[in-house]
Amino acid sequence: MLDSTHSAPAATHRAGARLRTLALATALSVCATGIQAAGPEDSRQVYGGASPHWLQAVGKLQVPGSKIVAGRRTHYREDCSATLVAKHGSTEANTIVTAWHCLEFYADLSRPITFTLFPGSHKSIEIEAHRLADGGGIHSDWALLRLRRAIAASEATAMSIHPERADPALPITMAGYSRDVGKGDKGNVLTFDANCTITAQATLSSDSDCMAYKGASGGAVMQFSKQGAPLLSGVISRGDSSAISIYVPVTGFRSSLTRFLQ
């Protein structure tokens, strides 16, 4: 679900219907099962050497979870996405943004949450993370985590935060580690959908026509500033398995971001 490759001209609705398969009925995260096949009109791109530089801030988030199934406790791993963020001009970053529901069943603090940038590459960075704050439910589906060590700007460029609400007249990009068997390669590669349209806005959730699959939850929603700077505008939350990708705007948790990015 993430970003675009170019600075933002005025957005237009995409022509024609697109086949989509979003995560679950209510969320885009997934554990080890339920991998989907991408539809024939998949507008996402795969991250590579020629992709926008800001995409390197989007990483994989792996969360050990447990819940009661048929009277027995089951342990599993929640595979999501997260975005490295920092104040503009910072030389390092130690905070990531993801979705609350990715952490919903995390209770065993002896089993660490891990955040990985550039997974599977020679410059892969894997760091433990712990929870700082979250929205407390799917109605406010955001969470902030602190990394065990800061990542220098020379290792990866963190994203700055949009100072306002995203402009619905401009396109957005969504990026994350979708676990479809097509372009997402079962969550092994970063995919992004560029030049999407915001179709509805509210404080705690907004709708878009971006494409994403299971595993993209917690990924980045980006919009370029008028000066062409990439800004984090929200966090990927869930979809309806038909035509909507829902995200939580940064306006819904800006006070927490301000507090922890001091």
pLDDT digits (tens, 9 = 90+) for 144-181: 999 999 999 999 999 999 999 999 999 999 999 998 88
Q: What's the CA gap between 37 and 45, in Å, rounded?
A: 16
How long is the chain?
262
pLDDT of residue 129: 98
Q: What is the pLDDT of residue 1?
A: 33
All residues at 6 or more sequence positions from 72 whose CB lies less than 8 Å from its CB, including other chains:
none
Q: 18: alpha, beta or left, given left = phi > 0 and alpha = psi -120 to 50? A: beta
At residue 133, the pLDDT reads 97
pLDDT at res. 10: 36
3-state secondary structure of 94: strand
Rg of the chain taking only CA atoms, in angstroms: 17
Domain topology for 57-158+255-260: Thrombin, subunit H (2.40.10)
Mean pLDDT of the residues in the chain: 85
Question: What pTM did the predictor assign?
Answer: 0.84
Share of the chain above pLDDT 70, in %: 83
Are the CB atoms for 1 and 211 separated by under 8 Å? yes
The per-residue pLDDT for range 18-75, each reduced to its tens digit, is 433 343 334 554 443 445 555 557 889 999 989 999 999 999 999 998 777 777 878 7
Tell me which residue of 146, 144, 152 sits closest to 125, measured CA to CA.
152
Helix (H/G/I), strand (E/B), else coil: 56:
helix
Task: Quote the pLDDT of residue 154.
Answer: 95
